């Protein structure tokens, strides 16, 4: 709480009282903390791959260039770390665009089945690599007005997360149905699940239940917060139900 005060004097300049104003700055302080946290997180996330790129480059320049195996190995790491940086920067730009109040949605006619057809080749490959059974169950011809690229990103990310956080031979399923006024998209997996204490936090920027694991799968911890923004600029809702070691189900509701 911040207090601002001023004395009140009468006509003879004698102290009559005082005015005290109490400002509740909890919200402001929280915003300020979140901003500082965000900057610290971004700096850390940028620093990690850069440190590694610099380390491997310097070792190569110091003479390791002559050994082809080492060269191949180090360049692969440098390439992977650069890809990671690129992904992180793209995610940050998307996030900052979506967080602007004046963000303008460009809506077009979306046919959900056609859109899913475009997504499948990307997702199928990831599922096959882990022997995960991927099933799609949608009602035909769901059509609605939305930003198709945004909807695509939501479905791809939810499916890719489901695949990442599900052990080999598990199951991932995508369902879609419509009501009079909304489209309901559901992604279910038989994966590791999310602890109940972590559920309220997973849509926060940079939050990951297990940092090391998420980094190994290439995650930045920004995916779900971007999805939440995309869904919310459409006036929709995103939620999750999950049970540890059983699996998770993400629900997305988009108004038609
Ligand atoms: P990341 O890039 O780390 O995957 P996200 O924002 O997409 O970041 O997800 C945040 C965190 O939520 C993940 O690090 C993971 O801990 C958890 N999570 C997301 N999807 C799932 C899922 N399907 N099953 C279990 N945990 C998940």
* pLDDT (tens place) for every residue of the chain, 256 residues total: 778 888 888 888 888 888 888 878 788 888 888 788 888 888 888 998 999 999 999 999 988 788 888 899 999 999 999 999 999 999 999 998 888 877 888 899 999 999 999 999 989 999 999 999 999 999 888 999 999 999 999 999 999 999 999 999 999 999 999 998 999 999 999 999 999 999 999 999 888 888 766 666 667 889 999 999 999 999 999 999 999 999 999 999 999 8
Q: Which atom of ligand 1 is nearest to the CA of 222?
A: 6
pTM over 0.80: yes
Expressed in angstroms and rounded, the spacing between residue 66 Cα and the centre of ligand 1 is: 41
Which atom number of ligand 1 is nearest to the Cα of residue 218? 2
**Does ligand 1 come within 6 angstroms of the Cβ of 166?**
no
Return the axis-axis angle of helices 223-233 and 148-164, rounded to nearest 10°.
150
- Tell me which residue of 163, 171, 175, 158 sits closest to 112, measured CA to CA: 175
- Is the distance from the beta carbon of residue 192 to the nearest atom of ligand 1 less than 6 Å? yes
With a 6 Å cutoff on the Cβ, whether 248 touches ligand 1 is yes
| 48: CB partners within 8 A, 6+ apart | none
- Encode 201-222: b = buried (16+ Cβ within 10 Å), e = exposed: ebbbbbbbbeeeebbeeebbbb
Task: Give, for ligand 1, the residue of 45, 162, 195, 208 to mutate: max count of ligand atoms closer than 8 Å to Cβ.
Answer: 208
Give yes or no for residue 95 CB within 6 A of ligand 1: no
Query: What is the spatial distance between Cα 31 and Cα 117, in angstroms, rounded to a whole number?
Result: 41
Q: Among 229, 192, 185, which residue's Cα sits nearest to residue 208?
A: 192
Tell which residue, 222, 232, 1, has the closest CA to residue 94: 222
Cβ of residue 163 lying under 6 Å from some atom of ligand 1? no
Residue 170, ligand 1, Cβ within 6 A: no
Interface predicted TM-score of the whole assembly (ipTM), two decimals: 0.97
Which atom of ligand 1 is nearest to 224's Cα? 6
Euclidean distance between the first and final Cα of the chain, in Å? 44
């Amino acid at each position: 709480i911040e207090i601002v005060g001023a004395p009140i004097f009468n006509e003879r300049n004698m102290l009559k009282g005082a005015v005290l104003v109490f400002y509740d700055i909890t919200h402001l302080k929280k915003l300020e903390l979140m901003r500082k946290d965000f900057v610290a997180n971004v700096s850390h996330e940028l620093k990690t791959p850069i440190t590694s790129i610099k380390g491997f480059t310097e070792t190569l320049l110091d003479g390791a260039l002559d050994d082809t195996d080492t060269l191949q190995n180090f360049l692969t790491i440098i390439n992977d770390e650069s890809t990671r940086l690129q992904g992180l920067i793209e995610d940050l730009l998307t996030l900052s665009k979506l967080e602007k109040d004046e963000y303008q949605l460009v809506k077009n006619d979306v046919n959900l089945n056609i859109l899913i057809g475009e997504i499948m080749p990307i997702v199928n490959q990831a599922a096959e690599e882990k022997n995960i059974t991927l099933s799609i169950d949608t009602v035909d011809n769901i059509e609605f007005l939305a930003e198709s690229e945004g909807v695509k990103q939501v479905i791809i990310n939810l499916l890719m997360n489901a695949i990442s956080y599900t052990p080999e031979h598990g199951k991932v399923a995508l369902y879609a149905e419509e009501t009079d006024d909304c489209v309901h998209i559901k992604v279910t997996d038989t994966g590791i699940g999310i602890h109940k204490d972590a559920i309220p936090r997973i849509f926060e920027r940079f939050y990951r239940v297990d940092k090391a694991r998420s980094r190994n799968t290439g995650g930045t911890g920004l995916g779900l917060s971007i999805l939440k923004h995309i869904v919310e600029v459409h006036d929709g809702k995103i939620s999750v139900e999950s049970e540890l070691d059983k699996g998770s189900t993400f629900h997305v509701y988009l108004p038609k």
